Amino acid sequence: MKHKEEKTNAIRLLEQKKLQFKIHDYAQSDAVSGLEVADYLNENPDRVFKTLVTVGKSACHYVFLVPVNRELDLKKAAKAVNEKSIEMIKAKELLPLTGYIHGGCSPVGMKKFFTTVIDASAKHFEEIFFSGGKIGLQIEMSLPELQKIINFRLADISSTASAAPLS
């Protein structure tokens, strides 16, 4: 899968491994929130996942993927990774920790690998969408293909989104 524009770490790694994926560019849109991205791509928001980076009470970092129309349930997420509690990392910590900026954080190609959990709802779809490593880029990929490049597990980690803005 070739991409004409500047390649992100995520896309370079997927191409190196010769994995099957599609790139969706929404840079020309006004889409900011995950729901707006899903709408612009004309996709079911249940299939479009946001990548959230957290830190546990143990100081270990974790990556969670949840549908853009849901929120990460911190209690369920902590249980999924055997932590007493977890919290979102501060936005300013994201780039030095992962190599990605807020709004463009991909679970593929971070500076180092963190335990990754994807919301169990992903198993209902042949392919899911997640950030391609920069704002304006989404990757569409099947879970079996994704499993070839990052080790993850599925767990019930989300709850219904409130009116709070999505990140």
Q: Stretch 152-164: mean pLDDT, rounded?
A: 83
**Each residue's pLDDT tens digit, 123-138:** 999 999 999 999 999 9
Q: Stretch 113-128: mean pLDDT, rounded?
A: 97
Strand partners of residue 53? 63
Residue 160 pLDDT: 87
**Each residue's pLDDT tens digit, 19-40:** 999 999 999 998 889 999 999 9
Residue 82 has pLDDT above 70, yes or no: yes
The full set of domains in the chain, from first to last, is 9-140+147-160 (3.90.960.10)
Residue 32 pLDDT: 86
For residue 6, name the pLDDT band (cuts at 50, 70, 90). confident
